[in-house]
Amino acid sequence: MNKGVSRISITDFLAALPGAVCLDVRAPGEYAAGHLPGASSFPLFSDAERALVGTAYKQESPQKALELGLLYVGPKMSGFVREAHQLAAGKPILMYCWRGGQRSGAMAWLLAQAGIEVRVLEGGYKAWRQYAHQLFEQSWYIRVVGGYTGSGKTETLQHLQQLGTQVLDLEALARHKGSAFGGMVDDPQPSNEHFINLLAMRLLEMDPQKPLWVEDESRMIGSINLPAAFFSQMEAAPCYLLEVSVQRRIKRLLAEYGRAKSEVLQQNFKRIGKKIGGQQVNEALQALADGDLATAASIALRYYDKAYALDLKAKNPAQLHSIVVAQEEARVYAQKLIELTNEAHELT
């Protein structure tokens, strides 16, 4: 490649990310489906142009596809250079396309002619995806925070992180609270493809030799499907069950969902109608109509408690550890969990 352009491995590419600008030169639709976290969309072709070039390549010839591509790119070249200079601001540019081939090669050549240092990801986005899945298969020192709905598992994770422990908040990455009521957030969930990217990038920040705390989750978080290799490690890891009174759990649910619109809560109860039973749903809907959120919350807990009890039965009893603290506060649970993990580590 031209002077000013180099091809680098995925490990070198990731190591260079903090001090560089990362550009994804694939089409906007490809970028929207999933991209390297932190990368900006810098498409060589629009979605329509990419489709037409691909059709020309398959139905006519590579030469025809090249000619068509040059026709599309020619008028944009000065704009690419101008925008790249603004984005780079003296920093090197990291770049990738799908396989690290023609699109990134062409864009890198152009920017190098303008005096910008460019490093192209060898193997492209596909190489990153392969690397991400290798991370999930790596051995992780996972510890699971479990407990019935309303136990404060997410709050406990937050306190664990504040106390200096490694935490992976899967629900935050998935933008979902992991239940029928969990999708009541303003931001839509990422695509499953992009969730994988976000998860892999978070794991790169973790030390595999130290405890990594996660919340007890099912394989699906809303519409997100957790990677099989990583989820199997979660299933096999010790699970610490926060023992919290029903009264405290109802109070937490009211604080978390009490401000939601009544019609939204009604829709979510109707969604679980077949599982919870018609009579229970009607009672919950009447309670919502009466403004009795505590009764509605207690009905929801009956459903979730039954479902979670079945999940616990499927686990190895040796994995389960009940955690009881007098104050029933997330901060105290976090401190207790760290103590227990340290004790277990000393015994190994």
Angle between helices 278-289 and 293-313 (to 10 degrees): 150
Q: Is 45 helix (H, G, I), strand (E, B) or coil?
A: coil
Compute the distance between CA of residue 162 and CA of residue 142 in angstroms, rounded to an integer. Answer: 18
Compute the distance between CA of residue 232 and CA of residue 229 in angstroms, rounded to an integer. Answer: 5
Backbone φ and ψ of 148, nearest 5°: -70, 160
Q: How far is CA 256 from CA 118, 172, 286, 288, 300, in A?
A: 47, 15, 20, 15, 14
The two tokens of residue 53 are 């070039």
Is-contact 23 42, C-beta < 8 A? Answer: yes
Q: Output the DSSP codes for 128-143.
A: HHHHHHHHHHS---EE
Backbone φ and ψ of 108, nearest 5°: -60, -40
Compute the distance between CA of residue 11 and CA of residue 68 in angstroms, rounded to an integer. Answer: 34
Compute the distance between CA of residue 314 and CA of residue 285 in angstroms, rounded to an integer. Answer: 32
Q: Is 167 helix (H, G, I), strand (E, B) or coil?
A: strand
Burial profile 233-260: b = 16 or more Cβ within 10 angstroms, e = fewer: bbbebbbbbbebeeeebbbbbeebbeee
Which one of 22, 68, 97, 287 is the catalytic residue?
Answer: 97
Backbone φ and ψ of 291, nearest 5°: 75, 15
The two tokens of residue 235 are 């299933």
239 is an active site residue: no
Residues whose CB falls within 8 Å of the CB of residue 218, separated by 6 or more in sequence, listed in order: 178, 311
Compute the distance between CA of residue 134 and CA of residue 125 in angstroms, rounded to an integer. Answer: 14
Q: Is 339 helix (H, G, I), strand (E, B) or coil?
A: helix
Is-contact 157 332, C-beta < 8 A? Answer: no
Active site residues: 97
